[in-house]
Amino acid sequence: MIQKKYKINKDFLDVKSAFADMDGILIHKMLPFGWGLDSHKGLRRRAVLKIYAGSKCYKFKVAMYSSTKDKYYLHIVNAEDAPYNIKFLSTRISVTDKKSKTEIEETLEFTTKNKWLDKFLSLFINMHYLLKGIRYKLFFMNK
């Protein structure tokens, strides 16, 4: 399990609206290098995200969606096999209002059913999450 917290110096409503954007600009910016968003019709319960990793298309589903006045929560799982022979992938994104800042907490769980490959992939996924913190800050600085 990989868990990261990012603190953003933007209003909660701005961050929430960026996640809920129908164009998927934030989602597209947060994908790893070489990946692309094929179809996106908003993040709502049972929505399907089609994401290209290289030349292959993968499907992900929004399993849970919740929004209140001070918290926004998403749970995204893979609908079929995920990239790199990952059998199960679960991402939980929680956006919380912390008065002067907004906190984004992401939790990723995955398995390939091969412990060695899981450890190897976690190195690259951790590097992606490190860069993702910088991407969040740059995205909201320019918004």
Give Cα separations from 72 to 15, 32, 88 (angstroms): 10, 23, 23
Residue 37 has what pLDDT? 87
* Range with lowest mean pLDDT among 5-9, 38-42, 77-81: 38-42
The CATH number of whichever domain residue 9 belongs to comes to 3.30.530.20
- Reading the block at residue 118, the tokens are 């899981």
Predicted model pTM? 0.89
How many domains is the chain built from? 1
- Owning domain of residue 30: 2-141
SS3 119: helix
Residue 34 has what pLDDT? 87
What are 62-99's pLDDT values in tens digits?
889 899 999 999 999 998 888 888 999 999 999 999 98
Per DSSP, the residues of 91-102 read EEEEEEEETTEE
Per DSSP, the residues of 17-69 read HHHS-TT-HHHHHHSPTTEEEEE---S-TT-EEEEEETTEEEEEEEEEEEE-S
